[in-house]
Amino acid sequence: MMNIFLDANVLISVVNQEYPLFTHSSRILSLADNVNYKVYTSPLCLAITYYFSEKKSGTKMANQKMKILSEKLLITTINPACVKRTVSNPEISDFEDGMEYYSAVDSDCSLVITENLKDFYFSKINITDCEGFFTNYINDL
């Protein structure tokens, strides 16, 4: 069983069908239906995704997309301890990325998938982009 965490930019590419990334990101999101994977995201990533979905597709469609995502994905917790670890880690310069990271760690994720690899330079767990996920972690999808 592999626990993976999806950053907001991966989710946004799916809900807004942003090509060429959509080709890989939608396949990664579909792993939520695969018993060999637990696919997580954070409430913060969902909020960011909603914002960009609403801008592109309107409120009604954005709400529908969030309903589907919240039913498909496991959702991490961002709690006071997560916030405290983020602000006390001098390596972290982006508060949002720090909270996402620690929420992934607290959910035992072994991998963060993001299109902004440099945002997680401080990570102690593996980080990859969507294409790298298929190159390095998946052989037969």
d(CA 141, CA 28): 9
When computed from its CA atoms, the radius of gyration of the chain, rounded to whole angstroms, is: 14
For the cut 70, the answer to whether the pLDDT of residue 67 exceeds it is yes
Please answer whether residues 122 and 90 qualify as being in contact, where contact means their C-beta atoms are separated by less than 8 angstroms. no
Query: What is the CATH number assigned to the segment(s) 2-75+108-116+124-136?
Result: 3.40.50.1010
Please state whether the peptide bond connecting residue 43 to the residue before it is cis, i.e. omega within 30 degrees of 0: no
Longest CA span, the chain: 41
Domain boundary assignment for the chain = 2-75+108-116+124-136
Mean of pLDDT over the chain: 95
- Per the DSSP assignment, residues forming a β-bridge with 127 are 112
> Which is it for strands 111-113 and 2-6: parallel, antiparallel or unpaired?
parallel
What does the pLDDT look like over 107-141, one tens digit per residue?
A: 999 999 999 999 999 999 999 999 999 999 876 54
Q: Output b/e per residue, 39-55; b: 16+ Cβ within 10 A.
A: bbbbebbbebbbebbbe
This prediction's pTM: 0.95
The string of DSSP codes covering 18-51 is -TTHHHHHHHHHGGGG-TTEEEEE-HHHHHHHHH
